[in-house]
């Protein structure tokens, strides 16, 4: 991993039902990605543990819900009020730029920060930005010039390949590999881009 050759795979996204009837999106990494994340975690955790509050129990080693409950029991004997806060969709809306800035304060290894950045830049985010425009194109022109939309899809895929070639070093010398990667994205996440849902998948 220190060489920079590892590239994360696409994250499989599933929806988990919530008690209120809504659904929460959950990303499922591949086994290889999970191992890589554990490697980075082993570097980050000892340092970040030092800056956590001693009364923080979420997602921390050697901390449990039972300890958190015991902390609450001690607190209710001293206080007669409680503040309950929840950040809606935190992981979906948190600024990636702020995350990287926070990481810069505690981590010196460039390869660690590089991989965190790569994990944040999965194609899901790109699709969320482009799908509203794609939806407008294919909905409007599908009524009048449907036969032209195959050409639009191919042009869009060409632009995606150019984006991948400039974004990922492994594709800069081979557009063929970039197209192969895009086809893998399409096969693994056939509903990622709006026009893929409609069947416009020609590369």
Is residue 157 scored above 90 in pLDDT? yes
For residue 35, the model assigns a pLDDT of: 92
Helix (H, G, I), strand (E, B), or coil: what is residue 189?
A: coil
Mean pLDDT, residues 162-186 taken together? 83
**E-state strands within the chain:** 12-17, 23-28
- Judged by average pLDDT, the poorest of 46-55, 72-81, 91-100, 153-162 is 91-100
Please tell me what DSSP assigns to residue 12: E
Residue 93: band (very low, low, confident or very high) from pLDDT cuts 50, 70, 90: low
Q: Is the dihedral of CA 123, 125, 128, 130 positive or negative?
A: negative
47-79 tens-digit pLDDT: 889 888 888 888 888 899 999 999 999 998 998
Cα(110)–Cα(13) distance, rounded to whole angstroms? 28
CA dihedral 68, 70, 74, 75 (to 10 degrees): 30
Q: Provide the mean pLDDT of the chain.
A: 84
CA 100 and chain centroid, separation = 14
Residue 10: band (very low, low, confident or very high) from pLDDT cuts 50, 70, 90: low
Token representation of residue 146: 């449907």
Which of 2, 93, 92 has the alpha carbon at shortest distance from 43?
2
CB 179 within 8 A of CB 161: yes
Name the one residue in this structure whose structure tokens are 């300890």.
67
108-131 tens-digit pLDDT: 888 888 888 878 766 666 787 788
CB 9 within 8 A of CB 123: no
Cα(39)–Cα(29) distance, rounded to whole angstroms? 14
For residue 122, the model assigns a pLDDT of: 66
């Amino acid at each position: 991993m220190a060489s920079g050759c590892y590239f994360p795979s696409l994250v499989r996204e599933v929806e988990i039902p919530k008690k209120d009837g809504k659904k929460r999106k959950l990303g499922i990494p591949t086994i290889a990605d999970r191992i890589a994340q554990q490697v980075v975690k082993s570097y980050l955790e000892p340092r970040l543990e030092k800056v956590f509050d001693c009364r923080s129990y979420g997602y921390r080693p050697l901390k449990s819900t039972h300890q958190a409950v015991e902390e609450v029991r001690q607190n209710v004997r001293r206080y007669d009020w409680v503040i309950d806060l929840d950040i809606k969709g935190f992981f979906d809306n948190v600024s990636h730029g702020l995350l990287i800035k926070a990481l810069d304060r505690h981590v010196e290894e460039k390869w660690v920060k590089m991989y965190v950045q790569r994990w944040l830049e999965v194609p899901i985010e790109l699709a969320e930005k482009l799908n509203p425009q794609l939806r407008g194109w294919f909905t409007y022109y599908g009524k009048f010039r449907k036969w032209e939309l195959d050409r639009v899809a191919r042009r869009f895929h060409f632009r995606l390949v150019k984006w991948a070639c400039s974004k990922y070093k492994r594709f800069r010398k081979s557009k063929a590999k970039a197209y192969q990667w895009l086809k893998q994205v399409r096969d693994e996440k056939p509903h990622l881009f709006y026009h893929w849902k409609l069947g416009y998948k020609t590369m």
